[in-house]
Chains A and B, each alone.
Chain A
Amino acid sequence: MEAAEATAVEVVDLAETPLRELNQRLHDLAGDAGGPRHWRVLNPNGAHAVACGLDAEIEVEIDGHVGYYCAGMNKLATVRVHGNASTGLAENMMSGTVVIEGNASQSAGATGHGGLLVVHGDAAARCGISMKGIDIVVRGSVGHLSGFMAQTGRLVVCGDAGEALGDSIYEARVYVRGSVAGLGADCVEKEMRDEHRTELAELLARAGIDDADPGEFRRYGSARQLYTFKVDNASAY
């Protein structure tokens, strides 16, 4: 890669450039294809699927609020939004990093398989629904039904959690610093051991949050009573 290519910033203004053209240019970088490594996107104005389906070690900065499914299916790339994100942020993300400086709407990080999602504001309902290995760090609070059916990965909430946290959770680990309005079916508080404080400290450091003490968090996870249907548990579903 040429030195100039490594440092230059490719600027795309969505007020002038069609969204499909932007996403196609980003998709064309997949694999070992050459091209700009640093991108700046202007005037997203709530458009859907901005920087969706990336598959390259690139950095994309977005100035403004984005619509649905921003950075969905992300692989390898780092996407940073200087604004808020709507429904389905980083949905089914595979790897890489997605950072939202504002708030995220519902279902942030849904079904994510890997990588790190950081929300510096609040995330709304169903954050991390059916997560499958992604790590999610929310500096603010999360809404109801967060971590619903979460399978693996870690969900860290520096603020409060809404109703039915971790409903029908599998083996994901949930850390909450503030209050929890209510736990969902089969979700229980668990002992916070040294290994958990260590992993939490590492997650907070990766998210760039240095003012949250891992010792202030509580851990939640599965009571493992609903893995297979038992008629005695019917009322818990």
Chain B
Amino acid sequence: MCGIVGLFAKSPDIEESLGTRLGAMLEQMNDRGPDSAGVAVYRDPAPSGSSKLTLFSADALQDWDALAAELGQAFGGSPAPEVRASHAVLVVEADAPEAEAWVRSVHPELRVMSAGRTIEIYKEVGLPAAFVRAFALGDFQGTHALGHTRMATESRVTTEGSHPFSTGHDLCLVHNGSLSNHNRLRENLRREGIEFQTENDTEVAAGYLAWRLREGASLEEALEGCLTDLDGFYTFLVGTEDGFAVLRDPIACKPAVLAETDDWVAMASEWRAIAQLPGAAEARSWEPVPGVVYAWERAKV
């Protein structure tokens, strides 16, 4: 069992209170996933020519200022780290692939949780309710956000094994379920050059999506590919720079509910998470049909 939540703002009020709303939803999913929790928040786009990294350090004494100075020397500018618990966000004057590659080679002890223009991923072991406080979710304003509470079945309870998983720049995945063909698929994807950091099944699904997108598939095509290439149970919620998408496997043992008002679109494992949102009682709500991709995107400006 795991819990999933997603919130897509359609009004300035929801954008301003995005973190508070998402935190309230996440706390409702506390008992579906008490092992660990995580969120992906889409906010504060990096300026043109720059990109945004979310980094995790297992070292409680990590000197983020020193790292920022190194990044400034390597790429110019003077990035200021925005530190939240074990994570820090840095805006780097380089594109995302270049900045990410630099961290991986120069600081292999750090984990790149996300890279892109707007995405920030935070995740940590422990109770979701504690996570909401430790990472001060209430601070966040943004356009949309995803969250996950984990009850581990497949692999170890670690920060790296928590969700969301990055599936590429400004892309991420959260998952409720379990995959049974992840070992074979991981080996196949490694041959395609996709890197993995854990033995986690969801990371393989994230790698699969990253590979399909790299090969030119649209997000919808990549998700539809899951229906034939992934064996197992899943409700997926995928975050993109412009919105999010939902897919359930055709057997659909894992729950999902969607709801929409003039102010927001929300997805959750259970209604009690969505019930936290303003106007929920009057929202249009429905259960996503198994095997069908549902997607919301904001209009590109």
Contact = CB atoms under 8 A, between A and B. Distances in A.
Nearest to A65: B271
Given A105-B255, A124-B252, A143-B290, 11 more contacts: A46-B273, A64-B281, A65-B285, A67-B270, A86-B255, A86-B271, A103-B286, A105-B287, A106-B252, A144-B252, A144-B290
Interface in A137-172: 143-144
Contacts of B80: none
Can you list the 10 inter-chain pairs with the closest CB atoms, starting with the nearest? A46-B272, A46-B271, A45-B275, A46-B275, A65-B271, A124-B287, A125-B252, A105-B287, A67-B272, A45-B272
Contacts of A106: 252, 255, 287
Given A84-B285, A143-B290, A47 B252 contact: no
Contacts of B285: 65, 84
B32 to A, nearest CB: 11
Contacts of B271: 45-46, 65-67, 84, 86
A87 interface: yes
Interface centre among B275, B287, B289 (most CB of A within 10 A): B287
Nearest to B268: A46
A43 to B, nearest CB: 9
B213 to A, nearest CB: 29
Interface string A58-86: 00000011111000000000000000101
Nearest to B289: A143
Contacts of A64: 281
Interface of B: 250, 252, 255, 257, 270-275, 281, 285-287, 289-290
A46 B287 contact: no
A68 B275 CA distance: 14
Contacts of B275: 45-46, 65
A125 B285 CA distance: 17
A144 to B, nearest CB: 7
Contacts of A65: 271, 275, 281, 285
A46 B286 contact: no
Interface in A85-133: 86-87, 103, 105-106, 124-125
A144 B290 CA distance: 9
Contacts of B290: 125, 143-144
A45 B28 CA distance: 11
Nearest to B283: A65
Nearest to B275: A45
Contacts of B273: 46
A106 B270 CA distance: 12
13 contacts: A45-B271, A46-B272, A46-B273, A47-B272, A65-B275, A68-B270, A84-B271, A86-B257, A106-B252, A106-B255, A106-B287, A143-B289, A144-B250
